[in-house]
Amino acid sequence: MHENTYLTTDEAAAYLKLKGRKLYDLVAQGAVPCTKVTGKWLFPRAALDRWLAAGLARPAGFVAEPPPPIVGGSHDPLLEWAMRQSGSGLALLAEGSETGLDRLERNEVAAAAIHLHGATDDDGANITGVAARSGLNDAVVIGFARREQGLVVAPGNPLKLEDLAGAVRAGARFALRQTGAGAQLLLAAMLDRLSVPPESLNSAAAPYPTGVDLALAIRSGEADCGIATSAVAATHGLGFLPVVWERFDLVLRRRSYFEPGPQKLLAFLRRPDFVRRAADFGGYDVSEAGQVRLNM
Residue percentage of the chain with pLDDT more than 70: 93
Which CATH number belongs to the domain containing residue 46 in this structure?
Answer: 1.10.10
44 with 157, same domain: the answer is no
- What pLDDT is recorded for position 56? 52
Examine residue 63 and state whether it is found in any structural domain, yes or no.
no
Stretch (H or E) spanning 112? strand 111-114
Mean predicted confidence (pLDDT) in 255-275:
95
Q: How far apart are CA 142 and CA 58, in angstroms?
A: 29
Mean predicted confidence (pLDDT) in 198-227:
94
Examine residue 62 and state whether it is found in any structural domain, yes or no.
no
- 282 or 23: whose pLDDT is higher? 282
- Model confidence at 64: pLDDT above 80: no
Examine residue 277 and state whether it is found in any structural domain, yes or no.
yes
- 271 or 118: whose pLDDT is higher? 271
Examine residue 282 and state whether it is found in any structural domain, yes or no.
yes
- What pLDDT is recorded for position 295? 86
236 with 97, same domain: the answer is yes
Examine residue 236 and state whether it is found in any structural domain, yes or no.
yes
113 with 260, same domain: the answer is yes
Examine residue 181 and state whether it is found in any structural domain, yes or no.
yes
- Model confidence at 231: pLDDT above 60: yes
22 with 168, same domain: the answer is no
CA 172 to chain centre: 28
- For 77-100, how does the pLDDT look when each residue is reduced to its tens digit (9 = 90+)? 999 999 999 999 999 999 999 999
Closest CA to 286 of 147, 119, 105: 147
- 138 or 72: whose pLDDT is higher? 72
Mean predicted confidence (pLDDT) in 183-208:
92
Mean predicted confidence (pLDDT) in 25-48:
81
The angle at the Cα of 90, spanning 88 to 95, to the nearest 5 degrees, equals 145
- What pLDDT is recorded for position 43? 86
- 212 or 204: whose pLDDT is higher? 212
Q: How far apart are CA 74 and CA 116, in angstroms?
A: 10
Strands 70-73 vs 40-44: parallel, antiparallel or unpaired: unpaired
- What pLDDT is recorded for position 1? 36
22 with 151, same domain: the answer is no
- Model confidence at 61: pLDDT above 90: no
At residue 120 the predicted structure's pLDDT band, cuts being 50, 70 and 90, is low
35 with 128, same domain: the answer is no
Please check whether residue 157 is in contact with residue 129, taking contact to mean a CB–CB distance below 8 angstroms: no
DSSP single-letter state for residue 67: P
- What pLDDT is recorded for position 29? 75
Please check whether residue 117 is in contact with residue 186, taking contact to mean a CB–CB distance below 8 angstroms: yes
Domain boundaries, position 216: 69-296
The per-residue pLDDT of the chain, averaged, comes to 90
Mean predicted confidence (pLDDT) in 267-285:
97
Please check whether residue 29 is in contact with residue 23, taking contact to mean a CB–CB distance below 8 angstroms: no
Examine residue 64 and state whether it is found in any structural domain, yes or no.
no
**First-to-last CA distance in the chain?**
28
- Model confidence at 230: pLDDT above 80: yes
33 with 131, same domain: the answer is no
Helix axes 9-16, 20-28, angle to 10 degrees: 100
Please say whether the dihedral angle defined by the alpha carbons of residues 178, 248, 189 and 175, taken in this order, is positive or negative. negative
- What pLDDT is recorded for position 137? 84
* Ramachandran category for residue 237: left, alpha or beta (phi over 0 → left; psi -120 to 50 → alpha): left
- Model confidence at 2: pLDDT above 70: no
256 with 171, same domain: the answer is yes
- Model confidence at 62: pLDDT above 50: no
Closest CA to 136 of 104, 114, 96, 181: 104
Strands 292-295 vs 225-229: parallel, antiparallel or unpaired: unpaired
Q: How far apart are CA 265 and CA 92, in angstroms?
A: 13
